[in-house]
Amino acid sequence: MMIATKSIKFLTILALVFISFSVFAEGGNTTLQESEPVVLQDDEHAVLEDGGRVNTKEEIEAYKKHHLADSHDFSLFSYTNDQNERKHVGFALPVIVWTSKGLKTFMSSAFHHNDDGHVVVTADDVQLTKIHSKIYELNEGETAVSFDEAHHATNAHKVIDFSITKSVFGMFLVGLLMIFGFRSLAKGYKKGAIPTGFARVLEPLVLYVRDEIARPNIGEKHYRKFMGFLLTVFFFIWISNLLGLTPLGFNITGQLAVTVCLALFTFFIVQFSANKDYWKHIFWMPGVPVVMKFVLAPIEFLGILTKPFSLFVRLFANITAGHSVVMGIAALMIVLKAKFGTAGATSVSIFLTLFLTLIEVLVAFLQAYIFTMLSSLFIGMAVEEHEHH
């Protein structure tokens, strides 16, 4: 039960920190550029001259970038009807933005298709538009986006975005699944030493994290203190990666805001749990000549900062690369259609995609294991007690 309570608290903090980092990430470049004809439009769906079909290399690359990025709605699939109109099947998510006139909320379906690709939504007395998945507020009195000769918007600025995006929705879903799983495991142990039902599925994984990751790297004396964090990180990354292989199109751990938050949790836990021996070995290494101590201290301090950097970059890069490769292989049916025909190209593409998807299932577990293992290793280095002679 203690594990379940700690995991719930951590998931709540993680969701809040991720939303904060998303807001920070949205506040960077405020230059708004006009879309090219084949680039994804405001509502994050392909609006192309040939009815929305993706046929060229440029359109495929744009489509891949679109599905790897976060979005304000879910797009399950698309099709072109007999009237050559592109139809999109999915559902909207809540848009929550802080504008110059306060908090505004509405559903993302308000950003529908139109001819010029720049939909303007009126939220009370504020005009809002969305370009390339970013929401902007038009200057007061403006009703449409205008661009200068360099294709930069001259009458719009970004807002603070607290929206429930696809990745945030996915995090809540993962959190609910984890709460259900951990509570089932806790209740199973209440009934006896051997859990029953769904809890028996989770028990081997929990024991694996405890006996193969936490104990060897942190030590018998301290590992229990960090089990709640390590279990939460392991299952959060693993389930998020598995959801990324579903048709829902989640890419939670492929978002830098998420991986940075996870790495920062490890970083702060390591620093605040470190003992005096840890800091002594960084700033004043025992048994080393004084001159060398001044040389090695900055290098060791730099190592403190590179550890979380390696954590979030490794997770982000591997998940993003895996999704990109799978989508690229799936697009072979378009590239090879002229040479092998529709049936042949589709068969080759489906076979390779299924093969790579099976590998991605392994990668989903492997990345969760690597992140958890490295986190426990860094924690173990911080709490290790040294005996100097």
pLDDT in tens, 346-357: 777 777 778 787
In a domain, 127, yes or no: yes
Confidence of residue 13 (pLDDT cuts 50, 70, 90): low
In a domain, 45, yes or no: no
Q: Are 133 and 222 in the same domain? A: no
Rounded Cα gap, residues 334 and 341, in angstroms: 10
pLDDT at position 248 over 70: yes
What DSSP state is assigned to residue 14?
H
**Given 143, 164, 185, which residue is the final one in a domain?**
164
In a domain, 3, yes or no: no
The arithmetic mean of pLDDT across residues 272-296, rounded, is 77
pLDDT at position 375 over 80: yes
Q: Are 260 and 344 in the same domain? A: yes
Measuring CA to CA, how many Å separate 265 from each of 5, 50, 359, 367, 379? 17, 47, 29, 17, 11
Q: Are 180 and 155 in the same domain? A: no
**In one letter, which amino acid is 221?**
K
Residue burial 273-307, b: 16+ Cβ < 10 Å; e: rest: bbeebbeebbeeeeeeeeeeeeebeeeeeeebeeb
Q: Greater confidence, 324 or 258?
A: 258
pLDDT at position 9 over 70: no
pLDDT, position 105: 84
CA dihedral 29, 30, 36, 38 (to 10 degrees): 60
In a domain, 294, yes or no: yes
Lookup result for tokens 């259900």 = 180
CB atoms within 10 A of CB 35: 17
Q: Are 371 and 225 in the same domain? A: yes
Structural element, H or E, at residue 132: none
**Given 164, 181, 205, which residue is the final one in a domain?**
164
Q: Are 104 and 224 in the same domain? A: no
In a domain, 187, yes or no: yes
SS3 content of the chain, % helix, strand, coil (to 5): 60, 15, 30
Instruction: Report whether 138 contacts 155 (CB < 8 A).
Output: yes
Q: Greater confidence, 32 or 20?
A: 20
Paired strand residues for 120: 129
pLDDT, position 239: 93
Q: Greater confidence, 144 or 59?
A: 144
Q: Are 154 and 297 in the same domain? A: no
Rounded Cα gap, residues 161 and 245, in angstroms: 27
Q: Are 157 and 256 in the same domain? A: no
Q: Which of 16-30, 32-46, 95-109 has the lowest mean pLDDT?
A: 32-46
DSSP string computed for 247-261 = TT---GGGSHHHHHH
Rounded Cα gap, residues 88 and 91, in angstroms: 9
Task: Indicate the number of domains in the chain.
Answer: 2
Paired strand residues for 107: 94
The arithmetic mean of pLDDT across residues 324-343, rounded, is 70
pLDDT at position 276 over 50: yes
Q: Are 156 and 243 in the same domain? A: no
Estimate to the nearest angstrom the gap between the alpha carbon of 383 and the chain centroid. 30
**Given 164, 199, 230, which residue is the final one in a domain?**
164
pLDDT, position 90: 77
- Which distant-in-sequence residues (6+ apart) come within 8 Å of 73 by Cβ? 43, 44, 90, 91, 92, 93, 108, 109, 166
The arithmetic mean of pLDDT across residues 253-274, rounded, is 90
Q: Greater confidence, 177 or 64?
A: 177
Q: Greater confidence, 355 or 260?
A: 260
Q: Greater confidence, 188 or 242?
A: 242
Rounded Cα gap, residues 27 and 44, in angstroms: 19
pLDDT, position 247: 77
In a domain, 61, yes or no: no
Cα three-residue angle 260-264-99, rounded to 5 degrees: 60
Per-residue model confidence as pLDDT tens digits over 110-164: 876 544 456 777 777 788 888 777 788 888 777 777 777 766 667 777 888 888 8
Rounded Cα gap, residues 278 and 283, in angstroms: 9
Rounded Cα gap, residues 363 and 319, in angstroms: 8
pLDDT averaged over the chain?
A: 76
Confidence of residue 59 (pLDDT cuts 50, 70, 90): low
Q: Are 181 and 230 in the same domain? A: yes
In a domain, 228, yes or no: yes
Q: Greater confidence, 36 or 202?
A: 202
pLDDT at position 38 over 80: no
Domain carrying residue 138: 70-164
pLDDT at position 15 over 70: no
Confidence of residue 278 (pLDDT cuts 50, 70, 90): confident
Q: Which of 99-103, 214-218, 254-258 has the lowest mean pLDDT?
A: 99-103
Q: Are 98 and 182 in the same domain? A: no
**In one letter, which amino acid is 360?**
E
Q: Are 111 and 203 in the same domain? A: no
Q: Are 142 and 211 in the same domain? A: no
pLDDT, position 109: 80
pLDDT, position 48: 41
In a domain, 321, yes or no: yes
